[in-house]
């Protein structure tokens, strides 16, 4: 029995490698100074989907919502073995919070007839872990969060092990289902040379248009459009056109998208400046250390 797995992935700034230069003087983050990476737990979700395909057959489709630059993680997904990739991008998606994001993604997933929807447990830029469960609700799917391992998949019945913080649970449900996958679930495979050779020309229509413009800076618009259309048609025939959907393609209700669709707003952002109120330098000598211990005892910090 073959299954269609749809993986939701996000391109994120690499928040694990933030240095002082990334923080602006006003305390905001200069996102452009950070490398953009494949959200780590989304790679675990993709790996789980690829393992399901390897064992049971079927297809893996990866969807991302983001700026056109997020196409990079889609190509990366194709190199690792995904069959299809879809970029959801639209200026009207800007400033979407998790609720609006889950609504937009739900419109995309609805077009795909998924048996299993897989998300990373959370993204490292926001660490909210909200989009998975919100997407499940929007799609009226059963959700299983914090998945650590797939244990059984048979006759559209799935059994997984999930982390419950202080232990684990083995749970079973019927497909369709939405899983959020933790970093412990697996070790994501790397790109396969064969896939890389095959897919490195994969492009979105936006990228093709940009490349055409770079190659033919003097061409008139109509000519560029024609060249773009013909190049896209070629890519599509070779199965190398990465789909690009905007909110019109998704027939999304704009009330629920972008800033309008986002109930949460930012009141204030502060940079983290943690400082001790008073501090002492302690000499690394027997005497310095004994004095410090003595003081801590006197202050009743240690008994």
Partner 1 sequence: MIDVNREGEVWVFAEQHGGVLEETPVELMSKARHLADTLKVKLAVVLLGDGVKELCTPLIQYGADKVYLVEHPLLGAFQTNSYAKVILDLIEKHKPQIVLCGATVAGRDLAPRVASAAKAGLTADCTDLQIGNHKIGKSGETHENLLFQIRPAFGGNIIATIINYDRWPQMATVREGVMPMPEPDVNHHGVIVTETVKLAQDDLPIEILQEHKRAKKVDLKAARLIVAGGAGVGSKENFKLIWDLANCLGAAPAATRPAVDLGFIDHDHQVGQTGTTVRPSLYIAVGISGAIQHQAGMAQSQKIVAINSDPDAPIFGIAHYKIVGDLNEVVPSMIRAIKEKGIKD
At closest approach, how far in Å is the CB of 270 from partner 1?
5
**Residue 271 binds partner 1, judged by CB under 8 A:** yes
Look at residue 32 and give its three-state secondary structure: helix
Interface with partner 1 in residues 25-54 (CB under 8 A):
27-29
250: how many CB neighbours lie within 10 A of its CB? 19
Where in 98-157 is the site for partner 1 (CB under 8 A)? 98-99, 102, 124-134, 136-138, 142-146
CB nearer to partner 1: pick between 80 and 121 = 121
When binding is defined by CB under 8 A, the residue of 21, 220, 237, 280 that contacts partner 1 is 280
Distance CA 242, CA 237 (A): 12
Residues in contact with partner 1, shown as a per-residue x/- string from 197 to 226 under the rule CB under 8 A: ------------------------------
Told to check if 165 binds partner 1 by CB under 8 A, we report yes
Q: Pick from 193, 220, 222, 269: which binds partner 1 (CB under 8 A)?
A: 269
Residue 241 C-beta: closest distance to partner 1, Å: 32
Give the shortest CB-64-to-partner 1 separation in angstroms: 20
Q: Taking the alpha carbons of 211, 217, 219, 220 in that order, is the dihedral positive or negative?
A: positive
Residue 129 Ramachandran class (φ > 0 left, ψ -120 to 50 alpha, else beta): left
The alpha carbon of 238 is separated from its chain's Cα centroid by a whole number of angstroms, namely: 27
Closer to partner 1 at the Cβ: 70 or 227?
70
Q: Which of residues 67-106 bind partner 1 (CB under 8 A)?
A: 97-99, 102
SS (H, E, C) 62-113: EEEECCHHHHHHHHHHHHHCCCEEEEECCHHHCCCCHHHHHHHHHHHHHCCC
Q: State which residue, 74 or 109, has the beta carbon closest to partner 1.
A: 109
Subset of 226-265 contacting partner 1 (CB under 8 A)? 262-265
> How far is the CA of 13 from the CAs of 8, 34, 44, 273, in angstroms?
17, 6, 18, 21
Residue among 197, 238, 254, 288 that touches partner 1 (CB under 8 A)? 288
CA–CA–CA angle 226, 229, 232 (5° rounding)? 150
């Amino acid at each position: 029995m073959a299954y269609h797995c749809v993986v939701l992935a996000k391109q994120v700034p690499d928040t694990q490698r933030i240095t002082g230069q990334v923080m602006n003087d006003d305390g905001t983050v200069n996102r452009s100074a950070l490398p953009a990476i494949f959200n780590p737990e989304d790679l675990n979700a993709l790996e789980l989907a690829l393992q399901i395909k390897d064992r049971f057959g079927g297809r893996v489709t990866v969807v991302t919502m983001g700026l056109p630059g997020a196409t990079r993680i889609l190509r990366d997904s194709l190199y690792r073995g995904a069959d299809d990739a879809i970029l959801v991008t639209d200026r009207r998606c800007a400033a979407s919070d998790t609720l609006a994001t889950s609504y937009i993604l739900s419109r995309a997933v609805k077009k795909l007839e998924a048996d299993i929807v897989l998300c990373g447990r959370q993204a490292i830029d926001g660490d909210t872990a909200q989009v998975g469960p919100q997407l499940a609700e929007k799609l009226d799917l059963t959700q299983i969060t914090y998945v650590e391992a797939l244990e059984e998949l048979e006759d559209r019945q799935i059994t997984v092990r999930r982390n419950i913080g202080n232990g684990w649970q083995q749970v079973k449900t019927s497909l369709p289902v939405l899983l959020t996958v933790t970093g412990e679930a697996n070790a994501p495979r790397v790109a396969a040379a064969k896939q890389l050779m095959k897919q490195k020309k994969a492009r979105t229509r936006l990228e093709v248009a940009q490349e055409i413009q770079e190659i033919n800076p003097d061409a008139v618009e109509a000519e560029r459009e024609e060249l773009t259309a013909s190049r896209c048609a070629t890519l599509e025939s070779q199965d190398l056109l990465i789909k690009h959907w905007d909110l019109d393609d998704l027939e999304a209700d704009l009330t629920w998208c972008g800033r309008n669709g986002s109930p949460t707003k930012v009141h204030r952002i502060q940079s983290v400046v943690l400082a001790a109120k008073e501090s002492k330098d302690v000499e690394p000598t027997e005497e310095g250390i004994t004095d410090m211990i003595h003081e801590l005892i006197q202050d009743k910090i240690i008994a």
